[in-house]
Every structure is written in C-alpha cells, then in structure tokens.
Structure 1
Amino acid sequence: MLLQQRGEQRVTVWTINPGFEGKITNRGINYGCQIVMSVLQNRLFDIKIPDISGIKHTNALHQLQYNIDSVTIRNVNLPDMSIILVPNMGLKVAMSNGYIETNGNWLIKSKIFRTHGTVKAQINNIAISFFLKFGKDNTGRPTVSITDCASYISKLHIYVSGKASWLYNLIIRWHEPSLRRYLNDKICLELQEILSEKINPFLQTMPVTKKIDKYVGIDYSLTSPPAVGKDSVTLPLKGEFYNLLHHTNVPFSAPPLDFLVDHGRMLYIGFSEYFFNSAGYAFNSVGDLSINITDDMLPTNSRIHLDTATIGTLIPQVKKMYPIMKMKLHLVSDSAPSVALLADKIILTTSGDIYAFAILPNSTLAPLFNIKLNAQITTTIGIKGDKITGQLTLDRVQLSLKKSHIGSFQVNCLQTAIDFLVSIVILPRINAALDDGYPLPLIGHFKLSNLIVQPHKNFLLFATDLSYT
C-alpha cells in the first residue's frame, strides 16, 4: 500500500487548496542535499587562499621576511551528512568528518640567508551545520535561504619541507588561528554563494505555467510556500488548466488534497479531480471539444460508411429523402467533461449533441436530425518522460433524439453506428493528443524513474524516484 488517506482529525491548512501536490520524502531530500554538497565540494577547489607575508623580528636573526603563496586546494572530501526535518521551520543540515588538503610554497629571507620550500596543510574533522528555509517568490516559484551557518575545523596539520623548515614551522604557528578563521568563514560564504548563484537560479527554471496549445495552458504556481513536515516536504501547486485568451475562474473549487507516503520513492505526486476537471472546463470554454466527422475519416476497409445509403438501412426515410449522398456529423460538447477518480479506476463522463447532415450536390448541408449523446469512458493515466499522458476506452454511449427533420424514428437503431464512430474515429484522435502528453512542472535536469501509478478515491497518485543528469 503506497499510502492511506488521513483521518478526519488531520486538518488541511491551505488557504487555496492545491490541484496538484508533490511530497519529497527523506530519500528525495537526502538526494537533493547530496547534489548541493557535491556542488559545494567542487566549489571548495576554487577557493583562493590569500598569500601570507610579513616581517618578524627575532633576537637571534634580527629581521625575518617571510611569504607563503600559490596555496591551492588539491583534495576535498565531505563524506558524512545528516538532515533533520523541523516541522513548519525547515531542514537542519549537518556535515562531519570533512577533509581538505592544500599545497603551497614558502619563502623566508633575512640579511644573512634566504631559503624556500613547500608547505602542505591537512584540515581534518571539518564540521558544517546550517538551516535551510523554504519560501515562495512573487512568481509562485520556490526559494531557499540559509541561516545559522557554522563551520568548525577540529584539526589542522601543516607540513613544511625544505631547509630551515623548523624555522618556518614557528612562523606558521603564528598564522594558524587566522587560517582557521578564514576557512571557517569561507565555507559558509561559499554555501551562500551556491544558493544565490546556483540553487535559486536553478529553482527559477521550474515552470509555473505551461502552454498546451494556443488556447489552453496549465498553472503550476505554488499556492503557498513549501511546507516542512516530520517526514516530507510538501509543494502545494495550483494545478489548474486555464483559457489563455480569457482567463476566468473555474466554477468549482479544489477539495483538500492530503495524503501519506510510505517513503519507498523519493517523490510522491498527487493529482486531485480538480486538476483533470479544470482541463475539461478549459478546453470546453475555448470551443475545443467539437469535431466534424465525414466518410473519408473512416478506415478504408470499414463496412460502415457515412452516407445516406448506409444510414438509410437503419432509417429508411434518410435514403428516401436524400438518396446516394455523403453525410456529415457535427459533434459538440454541451458541458465540460467530468472526471471521477475512484479507488480502482478513473471514469470520464461527457455529453454533447450530434448534428447529422446530408451533403447536397451543391455542397450545402441539409439537416437530418439532432441526437443527445451521453458517454462513459474509462481513462488510463500515465507518465512518459516529463509529461502526463492518457488513454480513453469507451464503456457505453446513451442516445436520445432531440430533434428530427425527417420524421420520427427509433434512435436506438443508430447505437451500433455511433459506438463505432466514437471508438474508431473520435477516441483515436483524442488519444493521439493525450499520448503527446501535458508537461509536468519538473525542474531542469531532473528525470523520473521507477514510476508507480495508483488511483485512489478523489485523487491519483504517482510515486517516483528522481535522477539528476
């Protein structure tokens, strides 16, 4: 069992309920922080340690002039990391047993001698701790900030080679405290720069709107800042399809969307019925849910043809009034389709009108009849790449006669023909568009893997791992 719904004692606190919600589990959080630590580890190689120079007065050698330069970091290892989720606050990140190794050159001279050599530093047991807080910018994208950053170096070993290295060891000891302070401060500065230069710009690649076609888009903006719970970070997204030309409010609200996860995957994505029903509303509002059907759209080997001869075998007056003519059907929805998410399946119900015409020799249309259609369709939802896809399979169609221009007839005689047209002509065209998919709000370079899909009552669940490429 991937999840269970929360009991009534749990209260959802979103001021605007999300239509689409992601929950990043501990596995996903650790994976993301490992990526950040990998970036930090690579950035530490680029730290420019300033040259150290000065003059020291001694009783024995009088004035000594010394210099340490060309210090570079040649090895970095940040092995151990722990993350604690602090509900309603953020993430407490701690790293221990870090290791940095540097190489450099030294020079010392006085009035009576000059010598030089190499210097190597081994910095062991580096500990770093900081607090990650999540927010939301005015575009609806997530933001991350760091507070309470601290770095501590437990052990600093410096090895000096060359003539008079014993003397240089004395000088190094004078600067060891300042070197520790410099590295401690620099590590936290690097983390802040990674956030400002890498992480937050990276989060800006999260799409908050996606254009489906020239008429319809999806709003994936955050409805509130990411929320940290005891075992996951929740991203509540609006998850609404909308009319690009005339953005109006959907005439229904999103129900609370709240679910538990079992932590077998890095990311759990919940789609509420609102997400899918807003799609039906948006496409219906732009007049996209209509189709004209003519005989040339049928398979070439079809035994059923859309002409007055074929339909006339079912309704004789059609053939009598309009002999040997092609026909045209105009199918248009009369309301937005509705999706019901059940525990074991997904049901789409839709209704509309079928207007039947005979195509006269002069290409004008002669109205024949108008039929009311109600259809129930089983829907299969999946994910392909970074898109959500779907496939529709017809369950049943109910017909009723609304108006006839050819006299009365029993509409049930058209049942087989209409079932055939819906299954062979209409659904394949819709399925082709659904198979192209609708984009998910994935941040750049992340891919989904090990996907599981489960329908639940009132919401659909995707459980997936993430990979960064």
Structure 2
Amino acid sequence: MELRLLFLLFCSSLLVLPTHLTLSSAAKDTDTHLLQPTDQRRDGCISVLLTQQGIDFAKDVLIGKAISSLIPIQLDDIEKSVKIPLVGTVRIRLSDITINEATVGSSRAQAGRPGIQLVASGITAQMSLKWKYSYKVWFVEISDHGVASVQAEGMRVGVIAGVKEDGGTLKLSVLACGCQVEDVSIDVHGGASWLYQAVVDAFQNTIKSKVEKAVAKKITDGIAKLDTKLQSIPKLINIDRTAALNVTFVSDPIFQSSSVDLQIDGLFTSLGNALAPAYHRVGRGASLYYDDESRMIGISLHEDVFNSAATTYFNAGYMDWKINKLPDQSLLNTAAWKDVYPELYKLYPDDDMTLDVKSASPPVITITEDDGNAAIALDVTVKVLNATQVLPVACVSVAINASCTPQILGNNLTGVLDMRSFKLSPKWSNIGNLQTPLLEEMVSTVLGSIFIPYVNSHLARGFPLPVIHGFAIADGEIKCMDSSLIIRSDIALT
C-alpha cells in the first residue's frame, strides 16, 4: 500500500517563491496555535499546520531550485541615439540582454493576511549583452560591435501570494509583486574610448527598469504556471484496488503571523460500488492544537479518518477470515471441543473443523487522551468437515475491546493492537447448549494466536506519512488527544 499524501504540496509549492519576491509590509496578526474554526470555515479530517520553522526550512531548501527556474531571464533589446562630443549622434543598440546568474543575500517568508509574503534582499545578478553602434562621418558610416558584462546589485524582490480553496483545490494568485534594483555596473569589452561612458550614461537606468519589469513578469508567469499545477492535483489518491483517500481541500488556508493551517477532507472512499462513508462535521471544534514551535510541522488525523478506512474495507469484504490452521492444530478438531459443545463430538467424532470469522459491523475507532481504542464485533461460525460436506453447526458473537498504541517507524505511522477484553454470546446452535467458560478460553486462544497477530502484521506495514517533492517526516512524535491523533515532526529531505 503506497500513500503519497499531498499535505505538503501546497506548502512546498508556495515556498518555491521566496527567491523571487518583494513585500510591501509584514503581517501583524496575533500569533496563535489553537485553531478555532469560524462560521464560514469547514474542518477537514486531516489538518496540517506548517510553523515558521517549517516555512523557513522549506524556503532555504528550495531557494536554489527557485533561482534555477527563473534563470536565465531574457530582456528586451534597447536602442538609443546618443550625442557624443567630437563624434556626433551615435545609434547604440544593446541586444541579447540576459540574466545568467543570481545570488541571494537573505530571504524571508512569512504567513499572514492576506496570504504568504515572501522577500529576497541583497541579490546580485550577473548579466551579459551584446552592443552595436553606428554613426556617420560625412558620407562614411562607421560601426562596431562587441559584448559587455553587467552586474545588478542590491536587488530586492518580493511577492504576496493569495491562496483560496476552489472546488477542492487551491487557487493561487498574485496580490502584489515587485522588484527594485539599487545599482547597475557595466563593463564594456572593446569599442572606442568614449563608448563605456556613453553606454553607462544612456542605458544604466533603462537596464535597471528592464530588469525590474522582467523579474516581476517572470514571477507572475511562474505563479500562474504553479496555479495550473495546483489545479491538476488529483482529488483522490488510490491506496490500493479497493480504497482511495480524498485529498480535497475543504476550506481556505488560514494564515497566522507564523503559521499556515490547511484543512484536507482526509476520508477514505471506495473505488467500487460501495457507498462512501460520510463523516464530515461542520464546525466540530478545534481541529489541531499545536504548542511546539520548535517543530516544523503538525498533522492532526481525526478518528473519522480511521473509521472511514474501516468502513470502506468492511464494505469491500476485507474483514472476513477463514481459519483452518492454528499453531495448535488439534484445536481444529471436534475432539478438542467436546467439553465446550458436548453434542459436537457425539455427532461428529474426530472430524476436522474450520472457523469462519466475519465482522458483524465496521470496527469503531475512538481516540482518547491516552491512546486509541477499537470496538470490534465479530461473528464466529463453527463448521465441521464431515466427509465431503462442510456443515455449519454453531455461531457465537464476540465483542472485542482493544487498545492501539500508535508509533512512528521510519516515515510510517504504525501501531500495536492489544486486546483488553472480550465478551461472547451464542447466536445459534444445531448441537445443543455450549459451556460458556470453556468456550471463552477457546476463543481467547484463537483470538490471541490468529486474529490479533494478523491485525498487527498489517498495522506493522504502516500508514505512510507525507512524502512529497523530496520532503518527508523526520523525528516524529505522537500525542493522542480527544478524537484526534497529533503528529509533531521536523521535515527531512529524501
């Protein structure tokens, strides 16, 4: 089972922007880590909170990629007529003006109303261009050409990106974008002695203006392309042939002064004809409490996520087992059951048996402040293999109360199921009355040797935590709260 949740797609995509940004002002929102839904806001079953630590980490990692996506930048040609003493009027044309390299002095990314604010300062850009001039002396035209190196210094670029939920995806827009260049130095290679000063005087401000406009346009175009990618994000992620995870966004992101809160549907749904479970609750309360700023990311998984998975797989028939092998195989012979069902051995002496275990209803999973609890209802049907016939002879109901301790193993969310208690009651019997105490001991043996190990073997495979665009959960820790499982973690590169 491979699950590539899109928790970080929005965050990591936005944070590609820090290297090409300029901001007008910083957000002044009051910092908060108790996220209360508003009347207009719908809670998802998966909540993701990216803290300032996480924003800064992603920004620093992706800054090089962002620059490489911008470079090279091609500027429009420039042509001017310049009056040169002792020479006259000279037409000078600059072409193939290209920003080839850029280094960033510092950058910052901050969440706040109305969106993500990103700034990069102290940028130095290396440029190259070709020059050509011509003028006439009497009836003779004199011309020359060559190259020049240009350095734009003290650049400051920034953007304010707004993000809205739109039909389950995120709509990204540019609310403000700009670029400022403090100084431009030009080094002309070749040409007449007067050319250097003429180019500096005539073209310095024009080059600055061209750079500012070209960078701003490149940023705007890049965000438009990024928005197109966001719209193409699938709304369902296939888990296997049976189930998919709904990863649509259910509300606008909430931008605090040092965090971004995302609400994702997060429910499992069937890929077949079974009806998808409906668990959404509008305004059910705080979805994620996160009180650890030193961690980069917080993820809240509401118990409805696990219940929707249980319902989906129950409807698909995955929670039925046929037990025909046990560590103690003698338990699957009527001789071992003659004290439990006295009539069984009389009617079918020394016949082999099978146990059909069926879930009577989807397991009900609750999360408390201590751990996770699972209420499991099973029907166990005893069948006798008599000659060529398989004969159902009795059925009992088993109600299991189990605890599940969540763990993080590598990049997987895993768990261990422990049976706390169980109760059984007869449903029907063709072989007379049963001896309940002896049956409880027998069922306890079967559950302990088959059912619980089987479930734990699947839990050990884990529920893969977010892996997207080279990022993964690292050093995660788990806390159980009322109705939600909280994961606090740093982010690692993969």
* Superposition TM-score, scaled by structure 2 size: 0.83
Which residue in the other structure is 1:392 paired with? 417
- Equivalent of residue 414 in structure 1, options 411, 423, 439: 439
1:122-161 alignment runs, 5 A limit: 122-138=151-167, 140-161=168-189
**Equivalent pair of 2:45/2:280 in contact (CA under 8 Å):** no
- Equivalent of residue 368 in structure 1, options 380, 384, 393: 393
Which residue in the other structure is 1:265 paired with? 295
**Equivalent pair of 1:226/1:234 in contact (CA under 8 Å):** yes
Which residue in the other structure is 2:351 paired with? 325
Tell me whether 109-118 or 255-264 shows the greater mean CA deviation. Answer: 109-118
Which structure's relative contact order is higher, taking Cα pairs within 8 Å and 6+ residues apart? 2
In 2, Cα distance between equivalents of 1:129 and 1:210: 34
**Equivalent pair of 1:78/1:99 in contact (CA under 8 Å):** yes
Which residue in the other structure is 2:20 paired with? none
1:185-196 alignment runs, 5 A limit: 185-196=213-224
Which residue in the other structure is 1:283 paired with? 313
Q: 1:192 to 1:11 in 2, by over 3 A?
A: closer
Name the SS for the 2:455 alignment partner.
Answer: helix
- Is 2:369 the counterpart of 1:340? no
**Equivalent pair of 1:132/1:147 in contact (CA under 8 Å):** yes
In 2, Cα distance between equivalents of 1:191 and 1:252: 38
Counterpart residue type for residue 360 of structure 1: N
CA offset at residue 284 of structure 1? 2.5
**Equivalent pair of 1:101/1:122 in contact (CA under 8 Å):** yes
Q: 1:213 to 1:230 in 2, by over 3 A?
A: same
Which residue in the other structure is 2:488 paired with? 463
**Equivalent pair of 1:132/1:145 in contact (CA under 8 Å):** yes
In 2, Cα distance between equivalents of 1:216 and 1:162: 69
CA offset at residue 142 of structure 1? 2.4
Tell me whether 229-238 or 212-221 shows the greater mean CA deviation. Answer: 212-221
- Is 2:267 the counterpart of 1:237? no
Name the SS for the 2:417 alignment partner.
Answer: strand
**Equivalent pair of 2:172/2:224 in contact (CA under 8 Å):** no
Which residue in the other structure is 1:405 paired with? 430
In 2, Cα distance between equivalents of 1:253 and 1:397: 31
Counterpart residue type for residue 133 of structure 1: G
Name the SS for the 1:265 alignment partner.
Answer: coil
CA offset at residue 280 of structure 1? 2.1
**Equivalent pair of 2:47/2:300 in contact (CA under 8 Å):** yes
Tell me whether 245-254 or 26-35 shows the greater mean CA deviation. Answer: 245-254
In 2, Cα distance between equivalents of 1:14 and 1:218: 24
In 2, Cα distance between equivalents of 1:5 and 1:341: 21
Q: Percent identity?
A: 21
Q: 1:86 to 1:15 in 2, by over 3 A?
A: closer
Q: Deviations over 1:378-407 (max 9, x none)?
A: 213345566544332222222222322211
Which residue in the other structure is 1:210 paired with? 237
**Equivalent pair of 1:70/1:105 in contact (CA under 8 Å):** yes
Which residue in the other structure is 2:452 paired with? 427
- Equivalent of residue 30 in structure 1, options 50, 56, 72: 56
Q: 1:383 to 1:190 in 2, by over 3 A?
A: farther
CA offset at residue 207 of structure 1? 4.8
Tell me whether 216-225 or 277-286 shows the greater mean CA deviation. Answer: 277-286
In 1, Cα distance between equivalents of 2:355 and 2:280: 32
- Equivalent of residue 129 in structure 2, options 86, 89, 104: 104
In 1, Cα distance between equivalents of 2:134 and 2:278: 80
Gaps of 5+ in 1: none
| Equivalent residue pairs, number | 456
CA offset at residue 228 of structure 1? 1.0
Tell me whether 95-104 or 106-115 shows the greater mean CA deviation. Answer: 106-115
In 1, Cα distance between equivalents of 2:70 and 2:264: 35
Counterpart residue type for residue 331 of structure 1: V
Counterpart residue type for residue 376 of structure 1: N
Q: 1:38 to 1:181 in 2, by over 3 A?
A: same
Gaps of 5+ in 2: 1-31
